[in-house]
Structure 1
Amino acid sequence: MPCFLYLAFVALLATASLAAAQNQVTYNVVALTKAGESVAVVVDGKNYPLQPSPDTAILHTGSAPAPQQNYHYALCSGQTCTTRETPDRSPSIQNGATPNEFFNRTWTTKSLKTLSTLLEPVPEVQRVGSDLHPADQIPTVHIVADQSQVDNMQANYDKQVEVPATMTYIRADGIQHFANVTFELSGHGSRKYPKQNYNIKLNKKDKLAGYKNLKLRAVGSPDPSYIREDLVYKAMQAIGVPTSHSSFVRFFVNDQAIGLFGFVEAIKPNWVDNNFGNGSKDYKPGYLYYGAEHSTPQSRKKNHTADLAYYGDNVAEYQDGQYTIKAGPDKTNFEPLMRFTKFVNDAPTNDQGIDTWKQHLDVESFLRSMAIEFVYGLADGYSAYAHNYALYEYQQDKFVYFGYDHTNSLGYVAMKTLENTLESDYHKYPYLAQQPLTAKVLQVPALQKRFEELIGAFNQLLLSADVLDPVLDSYLAFLEEDVAWDKTLPRLGPKNPKLSVSNDPKIGDVYDDAWAVAHDDIPLHTALKGTIDRLSLMSVSQWAQKKYQGVSKKYPYDKSAVTPAARITSDM
């Protein structure tokens, strides 16, 4: 062959090889395989094997040609691919790779409509930026632990059993791996449900998007809408009060898919730093007190609940188990809390005393929180149950209130009645006007007026069908494929747990119905927008429409309520 022809041929081969290399794509997919199974990407009808990632066996990756038309993933045994995805995928390739996709889903990223901001955050909220909760995707959390220890934790569901583990966090655009993770069941009564809640604690030096302590919330059981708690957290953000943020994740333990879960920041010292100290290492947190209805035998004997009642100046009376300290320089110091309850007991009830109130409490933040608890029908917070709330001492003897764990809301109850939550007059809402703090605050005429203005505004701007229906439609489109998957999965909760209910037969009936709801297969669309006639459950839309109509008649909407001028400032 003449030299110039040989050189031209070599150049042609090199060009073809470069073109082929440039047309190669790295494919990435999360898929759970059984023993003997592998994953392949099928590009324009041809199979190309993928390999498990070194970080997690459920993420499979490999190289194959770029698709001319479409591609899909398949589960294979040997050379035969036995299970393929239902959809064909259109190319979604950037920088020579697909995002981390999920097997048998029609989308990897999708916009989720949420609630618009109504009020700027109160000044105490100094939240550091974080990408922990992407609004356009559902990441994956994979825990790997000794299976015998996991089984022991599940068998002893009523005990505090910690399991050492590793965790891999996979989102469309990245993957993070964590060693020395602690994994455990969480909650109280929820431990008895088929689908349970979990806590994850990262190693001392590790953080995921700035957070060390995370909660996996068992959406779907008992709440068949899957979205109530997430929607309440987003409402809390919209009204500018301190709150955890939330999102959704797919959760796996070892070689088992556990399901779709809410992903929520746990309120721990690291959370306090991130939400009140802008994430600064130099931030010195004050005392963080939890109020918990789940009292101890000692507090029950004395009828001591976490209602913020004043017991006198004997600090031991506040240490019966109804309150716990989650952050602060001394985990045994209840003196600031005792002083606060004394102030509430003796506080002025005229408008001239508002400045005195502001020396001890961010009144605006508290009124916003109580207004949304009423409008969204929270049946397990301070207003209804003296439970699931925190008081944070952000300055000496000056507190800000916020709530957490909001499953009992928007038409789902386990320990109240739906009629209670539909009440349109807050004076008749269970315990709201009777709890020591709300009772005293609402005796101040100007504070009562502000509270009623907020109720009218939140009812119109966060509960009306014009606002809520598009949000519910977006949740449905965002979650329907994952909810269908979640419902096919076995539950790890106890089969025949011992249940305890209220001595009130009416409440007992509601609890029994909530237990049945947790086991029933109520379609997602029905739970969001249908008609449900249960003791413990209405659809979100059904309940919201009824609540909205009643509240609108009692507390009309005034646009000025959400203007900066209407705010009761905490500055002195």
Structure 2
Amino acid sequence: MMHFTLLGLVLAGSVVAKNVTYNVVTLDPTVNRMCVSIDDAVYLLSKSRASPLLYTGQGPMGSSYKYCVVDHENRVSESEEFSRPGTIKGNSTMNEIYKRTQTVHDIPKLPTLWKYNYQDSLNPLLHPDGHIATIHFQSTKNAAVALHSNVTEDVKVLGNLTFISHNDVQFIKEAQIKLSGRSSRMWAKQSYNIKVKGKKEDLYGLKKFKLRAEPNDPTYMREKLYYDILRKSASVPARGTSWVRVIMDNTPIGLFLMADQLDKHWLKAAFNGDNDDSTTGVLYMGNYVLQNSTAKKQYTSDLSYLGDDPLSYGVNDAYLLKAKSSDKENKDFTRLAEFTKQIADSKGLSAKAWKNIMDVDVFLINMAIEFLQGHMDGYQNNQNNYYVYDHNGKWTWLSNDVDYVMGNSIGNQTKLWTGDYTQFGDMSKRPLMKAILAVPEFRTAYEQCITRLVNQLYNLDILGPRIDAHQAMLSEDVAWDHSLPKMINEVSNPGLEGIEKIQDYVSKLTKMDAEIDVKDYHERLHSPNLTFEQAINGVTGHSTLYGLKQWITNKAENIKQSLHIS
């Protein structure tokens, strides 16, 4: 342990010219003083006005440096166990993270397989590849305690939010945080929804976003990879995502996947570019019906026609109205009722007529990626987790909450693992899927879409380097996340509690016909032997969880055999 007096700090700083600015972010809000050791000479850093987690100060450019913590006795009590190279570009370091060996990583790009003409004006600063940002939410009351005292309540906490990236700091004066999800509230590590409340404030254009805990995915990266394939390779409208470290007041919470919320601000940016005068349409979400629902009518969100009465589509929240049209003409389920009637009456409809109803290409790409990724909780298998958006009178498909994918499931994966798309999940029961594939032109296009994905993307030659780079970037923060105490101890947590809690959890999650393997799911959730490394590169030995690379290799091979792809 290093011990330097504060006097030594000041003297060292006064002898040498201060020609470089050093910036470091601590993930421990209880730290009050930090310094930088440059070639064994120590220089005091000051707490930045931009954030209490950010320390900044000047010193010379040396051959190497490391950051240190100064305790209440004015002594350096702790330091990084590694040295950083002194080759600093420009006059300042990036906003470096204490005890993280690297700030920015080189992430291999995904190939672009399609290019659609959506005028996406979402800010590229929001989700850059190769960097993990830090979010600090501060409130007048203890947000961590207020949110987690009773997870069944819809508690909303107001406060401010600081977003620290490697090269920028954004401060949101008025923000709101609350717990997210339904069945996910049973986990010890919760997910959150954040809303920017200030009328003139946003986070790089976002007004709402999610913090996804990914508690059932030991790789932390399945959902991120899924959305990246949609956005970067398929070029279809989809959430932007990036990893963030989250601190609430003085409590480190952990590593999360930050994901855009699809509201009217996002829709305008994603579909209308910089056109400030553009309008947005109505947005519906397929929300599924929980098995233990007490509602008299058990409607589901498979896009079946339920009659002309718009109220039928909102029964028991089978569908949710997520955004009204900006002109307020479409403010209920009328347009959804019209769409499901078109699906029900579509027999004999031509490809041209279908293309006037919806963006069929975007739908087919989403379905092909659901198939490749083995999406257990999507439209084809579980009639769940999707949006339909009325964009200028035509429907566009948007995927949602894609965590149970790529070999991450709650049961037997035979119907997900298959290479025969006609046997995938319950796709043959889904009205829209059946109607679209009844058109020969679309069935051919669907098979061509799958073939292109398998040949040009879905293999370890392409995806492997990106996965490896993400693993290297995440490894230190995954270890940090594992080390933190979780916020929920009394809740029915399927990762830690008995098998009866797992049964309750899965009953709320799915009606899928596949056999549910509760015992295996329970065992692998809290297995001390299932490491980050093994979950990515190895074979897990669990029926409910394949290794990430194992899934990609074997799923692609199954598809090649089924479709006779050479």
Q: What is the TM-score with the length of structure 2 in the denominator?
A: 0.89
Worse-superposed segment, 101-110 or 327-336: 327-336
Which position in structure 1 is the counterpart of 2:452?
A: 457
Q: How far apart in 1 are the matches of 2:291 and 2:344? A: 24
Find 2:217's aligned residue among 206, 223, 227: 223
* Alpha-carbon displacement from aligned partner over 1:305-346 (angstroms, at most 9, x marks no partner): 111000122222112121111122347421111111111001
Which position in structure 1 is the counterpart of 2:476?
A: 481
Q: How far apart in 1 are the matches of 2:536 and 2:304? A: 38
Q: How far apart in 2 are the matches of 1:339 and 1:137? A: 44
* Alpha-carbon displacement from aligned partner over 1:482-525 (angstroms, at most 9, x marks no partner): 21222111111344416343398996853554344343343221
Q: How far apart in 2 are the matches of 1:324 and 1:72? A: 51
Worse-superposed segment, 524-533 or 75-84: 75-84
Q: How far apart in 2 are the matches of 1:544 and 1:511? A: 24
Q: How far apart in 1 are the matches of 2:27 and 2:544? A: 36
Find 1:545's aligned residue among 544, 553, 562: 553
Q: Secondary structure at the match of 1:302?
A: coil
- Within-5 A mapping of 1:99-248: 99-121=94-116, 123-124=117-118, 126-202=120-196, 203-219=198-214, 221-237=215-231, 238-248=233-243
Tell me, yes or no, if structure 1 residue 49 matches structure 2 residue 44. Answer: yes
Tell me, yes or no, if structure 1 residue 326 matches structure 2 residue 333. Answer: no
Q: Secondary structure at the match of 2:131?
A: coil
* Alpha-carbon displacement from aligned partner over 1:34-90 (angstroms, at most 9, x marks no partner): 7575211111112222222223221111222332x2110112222322221111011
Over 3 Å counting, the alpha-carbon distance change for 1:47 and 1:190 in structure 2 is: same
1:244–1:266 Cα contact (<8 Å) kept: yes
Q: Secondary structure at the match of 2:457?
A: helix
Over 3 Å counting, the alpha-carbon distance change for 1:32 and 1:347 in structure 2 is: closer
Tell me, yes or no, if structure 1 residue 402 matches structure 2 residue 401. Answer: no
Q: Secondary structure at the match of 2:305?
A: coil
Task: Specify every segment of 5 or more residues in structure 2 that has no aligned partner in the other structure, as ranges.
Answer: 1-12, 493-500
Pairwise CA distance, 1:18: 12
Tell me, yes or no, if structure 1 residue 347 matches structure 2 residue 342. Answer: no
Which position in structure 2 is the counterpart of 1:510?
A: 517
* Alpha-carbon displacement from aligned partner over 1:253-304 (angstroms, at most 9, x marks no partner): 1122211111111111111111111143322101111110145988953221
Find 2:540's aligned residue among 532, 535, 558: 532
Task: Specify every segment of 5 or more residues in structure 1 that has no aligned partner in the other structure, as ranges.
Answer: 1-16, 559-572
Q: How far apart in 2 are the matches of 1:216 and 1:465? A: 28
Q: How far apart in 1 are the matches of 2:170 and 2:562? A: 51
Find 1:375's aligned residue among 372, 388, 402: 372
Over 3 Å counting, the alpha-carbon distance change for 1:249 and 1:478 in structure 2 is: same
1:87–1:105 Cα contact (<8 Å) kept: no
Q: Secondary structure at the match of 2:429?
A: coil
Pairwise CA distance, 1:127: 4.1
Which position in structure 2 is the counterpart of 1:335?
A: 334
* Alpha-carbon displacement from aligned partner over 1:423-449 (angstroms, at most 9, x marks no partner): 111211111121010011111111111
Find 1:392's aligned residue among 376, 382, 389: 389
Tell me, yes or no, if structure 1 residue 501 matches structure 2 residue 506. Answer: yes
Q: How far apart in 2 are the matches of 1:348 and 1:340? A: 14
* Alpha-carbon displacement from aligned partner over 1:163-217 (angstroms, at most 9, x marks no partner): 0011111111111111110011111111211222111111222111111111111
For residue 541 of structure 1, what is the amino acid of its counterpart? K
1:192–1:494 Cα contact (<8 Å) kept: no
Q: How far apart in 2 are the matches of 1:472 and 1:148? A: 37
1:102–1:108 Cα contact (<8 Å) kept: yes
Q: How far apart in 2 are the matches of 1:539 and 1:475? A: 15
Over 3 Å counting, the alpha-carbon distance change for 1:147 and 1:99 in structure 2 is: same
Over 3 Å counting, the alpha-carbon distance change for 1:151 and 1:421 in structure 2 is: same
Find 2:359's aligned residue among 338, 353, 362: 362
Q: How far apart in 1 are the matches of 2:412 and 2:455? A: 24
Worse-superposed segment, 466-475 or 291-300: 291-300
Find 1:91's aligned residue among 70, 79, 86: 86
Find 2:68's aligned residue among 57, 69, 74: 74
Q: How far apart in 1 are the matches of 2:463 and 2:564? A: 18
- Within-5 A mapping of 1:257-272: 257-272=252-267
1:113–1:475 Cα contact (<8 Å) kept: no
Q: How far apart in 2 are the matches of 1:194 and 1:542? A: 28
Larger radius of gyration: 1
Over 3 Å counting, the alpha-carbon distance change for 1:490 and 1:206 in structure 2 is: same
Q: What is the TM-score with the length of structure 1 in the denominator?
A: 0.88
Q: How far apart in 2 are the matches of 1:506 and 1:492? A: 34
Which position in structure 2 is the counterpart of 1:317?
A: 312
Q: How far apart in 2 are the matches of 1:42 and 1:126? A: 44
Over 3 Å counting, the alpha-carbon distance change for 1:326 and 1:299 in structure 2 is: farther
* Alpha-carbon displacement from aligned partner over 1:107-136 (angstroms, at most 9, x marks no partner): 111111242111112x45644443201113
Pairwise CA distance, 1:556: 4.1
* Alpha-carbon displacement from aligned partner over 1:147-170 (angstroms, at most 9, x marks no partner): 444312111212211100111111
Q: Secondary structure at the match of 1:270?
A: helix
Worse-superposed segment, 47-56 or 194-203: 47-56
Over 3 Å counting, the alpha-carbon distance change for 1:36 and 1:211 in structure 2 is: closer
Which position in structure 1 is the counterpart of 2:423?
A: 428
Q: How far apart in 1 are the matches of 2:406 and 2:138? A: 35
Q: How far apart in 2 are the matches of 1:446 and 1:504? A: 32
Q: How far apart in 1 are the matches of 2:293 and 2:550? A: 42
2:135–2:163 Cα contact (<8 Å) kept: yes
Which position in structure 2 is the counterpart of 1:468?
A: 463
Q: Secondary structure at the match of 2:279?
A: coil
Over 3 Å counting, the alpha-carbon distance change for 1:257 and 1:35 in structure 2 is: closer
Q: Secondary structure at the match of 1:301?
A: coil
1:27–1:62 Cα contact (<8 Å) kept: yes
Q: How far apart in 1 are the matches of 2:421 and 2:390? A: 28
2:142–2:249 Cα contact (<8 Å) kept: no
Q: How far apart in 2 are the matches of 1:314 and 1:496? A: 39
Tell me, yes or no, if structure 1 residue 447 matches structure 2 residue 454. Answer: no
Q: How far apart in 1 are the matches of 2:141 and 2:543? A: 39
Worse-superposed segment, 165-174 or 548-557: 548-557
* Alpha-carbon displacement from aligned partner over 1:355-397 (angstroms, at most 9, x marks no partner): 111111111111111011001111111111111100010122x
For residue 223 of structure 1, what is the amino acid of its counterpart? D
Q: How far apart in 1 are the matches of 2:297 and 2:201? A: 42
Which position in structure 1 is the counterpart of 2:498?
A: none
Over 3 Å counting, the alpha-carbon distance change for 1:223 and 1:346 in structure 2 is: same
2:382–2:511 Cα contact (<8 Å) kept: no
Which position in structure 1 is the counterpart of 2:3?
A: none
Which position in structure 2 is the counterpart of 1:523?
A: 531
Q: How far apart in 2 are the matches of 1:532 and 1:296? A: 30
Worse-superposed segment, 549-558 or 42-51: 549-558
